[in-house]
Amino acid sequence: MATGKALSKAGLADLAVLGGPALFTGDLHVGRPNIGERAHLMARIEAMLDSRWLTNDGPLVAEFEAAVASRHAVRHCVATNNATAGLQIAIKALGMTGEVILPSFTFVATAHSLRWLDLTPIFCDVDPATHLMDPAEVERLITPRTGGILGVHLWGQACAPEALSDLARQHRLPLLFDAAHALGCSHRGQPIGGAGDAEVLSFHATKVANAFEGGAILTNDGTLADRLRRMRNFGFRGTDHVDILGINAKMPEVCAAMGLTSLEALDEFISVNRRNFAAYRQGLAGLPGIRLHEAPAGDEVNHHYVILEVDEQAAGVSRDELVRWLRAEGVLARRYFHPGCHRMAPYRAEDPLAAARLPVTDRLSAQVLALPTGTAMTAAAVEELCRLLGFLAANAAPIRRRLIDLTSPKAA
């Protein structure tokens, strides 16, 4: 968070990128961890140490799984050491084969989870308004080689669960959702988590609530849940009998302790995010070419992602310029998700023609900007940041000229 009183920017010379002091004396991070009640966490850790039960499906993991399942109104929650491992064992347990359709506009771990298991990601374009995978595009990409669909609940919005479920049933395909962003979110009045065959939450340190590091697979299928539990524990059924291929994806007790402590404070975290989002909405209103992304009607999101779309032609400034200039001021804004999975290794070499079918993904990858929020961000800092954004956009042309002057041979 900002440490100390924010400095006002009276003119161009005050800008940090032009040699002035940074506006924020402590960096404002995207995804800085939210911390719950420390006394509760320490009490859980002390009890864990007293019991000497540190891992292997301990009581804290069982309590954590029950709490997550209750929050998301599903029958089963299978905790994992991280969400990527959760995706991988869910993909394996569902028997996905061949090609799997997913958006390119997502964190690369979604695609890596497939490729690591020797499956072929088939990247699908997204809806320009919601940024979510377009079911019409999914249907167009289904072929006899398709072995699954992997949707992503981006920014906490539900990724067309009804339409994708219909497609999955029609084509007899397993349907999995990457729900890394969706803790505490709902769709049409129902908690996210029960769609498709399974959904995977993330409890990484940067998420709205964290377990230091962790994941959770949600499902209403008891047979699948049993299979997932064995797969996360080397395939063991009982003490010494292995009857399925497995890995070590267990969540340790200390992570469950943090997860439970975070869940206790989740509503408070979301309330702070909602306050910050309202301040951003007010502070950015009227800025030409800069649009604050809002969830579609019917979805309740945790507001853990404050997302802007920067239209360079209308705003007079590019997204990448704003990122550089904001970072100089101590605002570590992020280019989510740049440049898109299809332009990263190994996918760009394996499917060099992917960009031709992903025009919306490419546009968003060049325009989307994520701003800081969470309990480390104050409403006053949000207001000051909005004023800074307005100043940078309004003065982009002279800032560029001065930067050229500073780096020219004459200046040297």
What does the pLDDT look like over 205-214, one tens digit per residue?
Answer: 999 999 999 9
| 112 pLDDT higher than 80 | yes
Q: Which of 224-233, 354-363, 400-409 shows the lowest mean pLDDT across its residues?
A: 400-409
Element (H, E) at 306: strand 306-310
Task: Tell me: pLDDT of 365 over 70.
Answer: yes
Question: What pLDDT does 332 receive?
Answer: 97
Q: Would the pLDDT of 11 be above 90?
A: no
What pLDDT does residue 10 have? 72
Predicted model pTM? 0.95
Please give the C-alpha separations between residue 249 and each of 87, 143, 317, in angstroms, as whole numbers: 11, 32, 45
Q: Which residue has the higher pLDDT, 26 or 203?
A: 203
State yes or no: cis peptide before 337, omega within 30 of 0.
yes
Q: Mean per-residue pLDDT for 186-210?
A: 98
**Does residue 12 surpass a pLDDT of 90?**
yes
Question: Residue 1 — very low, low, confident or very high, per pLDDT cuts 50/70/90?
Answer: very low
User: Which domains, ranges and CATH numbers included, belong to the chain?
Assistant: 12-31+266-407 (3.90.1150.10), 38-264 (3.40.640.10)
Percent of the chain with pLDDT over 90: 94
Average of per-residue pLDDT across 248-269 = 98
Instruction: Please tell me the predicted confidence (pLDDT) of residue 3.
Output: 37
Query: What is the model's pLDDT at position 256?
Result: 99
pLDDT tens-digit readout, 305-347: 999 999 999 999 999 999 999 999 999 999 999 999 999 999 9
Q: What percentage of the chain has pLDDT greater than the value 70?
A: 97
DSSP state of 46: H
The DSSP-derived string for 86-142 is: HHHHHHHHTT--SEEEEESSS-HHHHHHHHTTT-EEEEE-B-TTT-SB-HHHHHHH-
Question: What confidence category does residue 408 fall into, taking pLDDT thresholds of 50, 70 and 90?
Answer: confident
The whole-number pLDDT of residue 4 equals 38
Q: Assign 410 a pLDDT band (cuts: 50, 70, 90).
A: low
> How many helices and strands (H and E) does the chain possess?
15, 15
How far apart, in whole angstroms, are the C-alpha atoms of residue 175 and residue 48? 37
